[in-house]
Amino acid sequence: MSGNGDAAATAKENGSRMRVIRVGTRKSQLARIQTDSVVAALKALYPGLQFEIVAMSTTGDKILDTALSKIGEKSLFTKELENALERNEVDLVVHSLKDLPTVLPPGFTIGAICKRESPYDAVVFHPKFVGKTLETLPEKSVVGTSSLRRAAQLQRKFPHLEFKSIRGNLNTRLRKLDEQQEFSAIILAVAGLQRLGWQNRVGQILRPEDCMYAVGQGALGVEVRAKDQDILKLVGVLHDHETVLCCIAERAFLRHLEGGCSVPVAVHTVMKDGQLYLTGGVWSLDGSDSMQETMQATIPVPVQHEDGPEDDPQLVGITARNIPRGAQLAAENLGISLANLLLSKGAKDILEVARQLNDAH
Same domain, 236 and 348: yes
Taking the C-alpha atoms of residue 307 and residue 324, their distance in angstroms, rounded to an integer, is 7
Same domain, 103 and 137: no
Given 146, 171, 205, which residue is the final one in a domain? 205
| Domain count within the chain | 2
Looking at residue 36, which CATH number applies to its domain? Answer: 3.30.160.40
Q: What is the pLDDT of residue 99?
A: 87
- Give yes or no: residues 106 and 126 share one domain: no
Positive/negative CA dihedral, 60, 255, 239, 207: positive
Residue 265 lies in a domain: yes
Contact indicator for 154, 163 with CB cutoff of 8 Å: yes
Is residue 7 domain-resident?
Answer: no
Q: State how far the Cα of 203 lies from the Cα of 190, in Å rounded to an integer.
A: 11
> Is 1 part of any domain?
no
Mean pLDDT by 10 residues, the chain (361 residues): 46 56 92 96 95 80 45 58 91 94 93 97 97 97 94 95 90 92 96 95 96 97 96 96 98 87 88 96 92 96 53 84 94 97 93 81 64
Query: Any idea which residues carry the catalytic annotation?
Result: 99
Question: What is the structure's pLDDT at 16?
Answer: 40
- Give residue 12's pLDDT: 44
Indicate if 38 and 130 belong to the same structural domain.
Answer: no
Please tell me whether residues 192 and 229 are part of one structural domain: no
Domain boundary among 205, 234, 259: 205
Residue 75 falls inside a structural domain: yes
Structural domain containing residue 156? 121-205
* Residue 13 counted as domain residue: no
* 174 and 47 both lie in a single domain: no
Residues 344 and 291 placed together within one structural domain of the fold = yes
Residue 10 falls inside a structural domain: no
* DSSP class per residue in 276-325: EEEEEEEE-TTSSSEEEEEEEEE----SS----TT----BTTB--TTS-H
Of 172, 205, 238, the residue at which a domain comes to its end is: 205
According to DSSP, the β-strands at 142-144 and 162-164 are parallel
pLDDT for residue 352 = 87
Q: Residue 11: inside a domain, yes or no? A: no
CATH code at 197?
Answer: 3.40.190.10
Q: Residue 167 carries which side chain, given as an amino acid letter? A: R
Are 196 and 291 part of one and the same domain? no
Distances in Å between the Cα of 57 and the Cα atoms of 21, 24, 122, 272 are 20, 10, 26, 39
| 87 domain-assigned | yes
Same domain, 244 and 110: yes
Residues 108, 242 within the same domain: yes
Q: Do 193 and 230 sit in the same domain of this protein?
A: no
Q: Given this model, what pLDDT does residue 81 score?
A: 87
Are residues 221 and 80 part of one domain?
A: yes
Question: How confident is the model at residue 94, as a pLDDT?
Answer: 95
pTM: 0.88
